[in-house]
Amino acid sequence: MTRFATLAILAASVLAPACTDDLPPPNTPPPGSTSGGTSDTFDHENDQISPWDLLQRIEVEGPPSYTSHTHSCPKVRYSNLGSLLTDIGVNAANTTQLSAGELYTDGYNALGGPNYANRIRENIGITISGASKEFDIFAAAAPEVMAAFTSTTTNALQARCPGAQLFDTSGSVPTCRPDGIECLIGVPPQSEHVDYCNLTITNASTPAVGQQLAVAAILAAAYTCE
């Protein structure tokens, strides 16, 4: 058999299936088996910011090298958290179960405390366990904080914020006072701070529960980057 005849047979064998209607079925999975829909798939925003919008953002917020320092939210160091609790009227050395002091002491590892014996520095990043533990501490500390504001004995909180009161109890429902909020967060509060504080009280099951939730929320918003 000549070389030309061999090539002709090979070409015919290749082209023959293409001339028929018996093509192999496409390897496509049934609809809905591997792809998501609008109800179960997150719609990612892939739009790129325009140069003019980026320039305006830099002019307002500053360049990234600046905003990374001024707008970041670092974790409160373990020792600083203990000092903070003392300053707002909490007994950080309290060993009563589920008290703020007990949660603070037992939460050493969750809060990322340093292990100097093993040459491990303090974890300076915010973790889920650390933020959750810190909020638990603030929630447990709320009754002590409220009592420190109204105590007849001068304490660390009253010495730092003389005359400040956290709630106005003259009405049927307690309302939040800006001077008390300022004492807790360390800066003059905005109107939104007071509004959300009052909203927390009115939406709670009782005003007493609402006051405790408001204190915990104020502290968490100031010191857990929430």
**pLDDT tens-digit series, residues 40-83:** 665 556 567 788 888 888 888 888 877 777 666 778 899 999 99
d(CA 41, CA 21): 38
> For position 194, what pLDDT does the model report?
93
Q: Decide: 80 and 122 in contact? Cβ < 8 Å.
A: no
Q: Decide: 176 and 166 in contact? Cβ < 8 Å.
A: yes
Four-CA torsion 144, 150, 151, 156, nearest 10 degrees: 70
How do the domains of the chain map onto residue ranges?
78-223
Residue 122 pLDDT exceeds 80: yes
> For position 53, what pLDDT does the model report?
86
> For position 60, what pLDDT does the model report?
85
The whole-number average pLDDT for the span 25-33 is 60
**How far from each other are the two terminal CA atoms of the chain, in whole angstroms?**
84
The whole-number average pLDDT for the span 103-131 is 89
Query: Given pLDDT bands bounded at 50, 70 and 90, which one contains residue 138?
Result: very high
Q: Decide: 218 and 181 in contact? Cβ < 8 Å.
A: yes
Residue 33 pLDDT exceeds 70: no
d(CA 10, CA 209): 87
Query: Given pLDDT bands bounded at 50, 70 and 90, which one contains residue 197?
Result: very high
Residues 82-105 have pLDDT tens digits of 999 999 999 999 999 999 999 999
d(CA 100, CA 135): 10
CA atoms within 13 A on the CB side of 169: 9
> For position 10, what pLDDT does the model report?
47
- Comparing 27 with 206, the larger pLDDT belongs to 206
> For position 71, what pLDDT does the model report?
64
- Comparing 190 with 70, the larger pLDDT belongs to 190
> For position 152, what pLDDT does the model report?
84
The whole-number average pLDDT for the span 22-50 is 62
CA atoms within 13 A on the CB side of 58: 10
> For position 146, what pLDDT does the model report?
94
> For position 156, what pLDDT does the model report?
87
175-176 and 167-168 as β-strands: parallel, antiparallel, unpaired? Answer: antiparallel
Contacts of 123 (CB under 8 A, 6+ apart): 75, 112, 130
d(CA 171, CA 166): 14
Residue 17 pLDDT exceeds 90: no
What is the pLDDT of the chain when averaged over all its residues? Answer: 82
Q: Would the pTM of this model clear 0.75, i.e. be above it? A: no
CA atoms within 13 A on the CB side of 223: 28
> For position 106, what pLDDT does the model report?
93
